[in-house]
């Protein structure tokens, strides 16, 4: 179990329009692929190893249609995207805003959005409702929350 596994490049840390991390390199591709194959099977050894090694708590969701009401009072929440292989849609689905500045992010496979649990964003309407856009709601332990806080300060 090591917090060194959370290797977040400074380029993935953003202060505007709201502080957030947007990373597609947080989880190695081979690890992501193994987890993708066991989607929604939290008891599988791949998921259990990942949860233990990364010090996270996860909840599966079958479609990314709106921002969640956080289940935990943690300082940060992650939205980790598991794009279906049949999904050929183009990006531009997530809008961050501070009232005057807006930024649009795209739902892509193995990409994570990390924000403070008290911040909000908008999921923009899609042209087609299928395929669904699965994602994991991710909560971090206190050591990782502190690391995230330092990266975003």
Q: Which of 22, 4, 53 is nearest to 115 (CA)?
A: 22
Please give the tally of structural domains in the chain. 1
Higher pLDDT among residues 3 and 96, named by residue? 96
**Concatenated DSSP letters of the chain:** --GGG----GGGEE-SSS-EEEESSSS-HHHHHHHHHTTT-TTSHHHHHHHHHHTEEEEEES---SPPPPSS--SEEEEEE---TT----S--EEEESSS-EEEE---TTEEEEEETT---EEPPPS---S---EEEEEE-HHHHHHHHHHH-
Domain extent, residue 17, equals: 3-152
pLDDT of residue 41: 96
Q: What is the arithmetic mean of pLDDT over 4-14?
A: 82
Per-residue CA distances from 117 to 50, 77, 125, 127, 142 (Å): 22, 6, 22, 28, 14
CATH code for the domain of 143: 2.60.120
pLDDT of residue 90: 67
pLDDT, tens only, 23-51: 998 898 999 999 999 999 999 999 999 99
Residue 2 has pLDDT above 50, yes or no: no
pLDDT, tens only, 108-127: 889 999 999 999 999 998 87
Please give the model's pTM, rounded to 2 decimal places.
Answer: 0.92
pLDDT of residue 46: 97
pLDDT of residue 75: 94
- Given a contact cutoff of 8 angstroms between Cβ atoms, the answer to whether 26 and 112 are in contact is yes
Structure tokens at 49: 């190893």
């Amino acid at each position: 179990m090591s917090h060194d596994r959370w290797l977040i490049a400074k380029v993935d840390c953003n202060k505007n329009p709201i502080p957030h991390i947007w990373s597609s390199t947080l989880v190695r591709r081979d690890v992501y692929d193994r987890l993708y194959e066991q989607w929604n099977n939290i008891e599988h050894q791949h998921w259990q190893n990942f949860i233990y090694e990364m010090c996270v708590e996860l909840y599966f969701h079958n479609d990314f249609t709106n921002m969640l009401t956080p289940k935990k009072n943690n300082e940060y929440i992650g939205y980790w995207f598991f794009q279906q292989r049949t999904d050929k849609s183009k990006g531009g689905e997530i809008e961050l805003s501070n009232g005057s500045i807006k930024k649009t992010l795209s739902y892509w496979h193995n990409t994570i959005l990390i924000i403070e649990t008290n911040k909000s964003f908008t999921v923009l309407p899609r042209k087609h409702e299928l395929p669904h856009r699965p994602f994991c709601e991710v909560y971090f332990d206190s050591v990782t929350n502190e690391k995230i806080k330092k990266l975003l300060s």
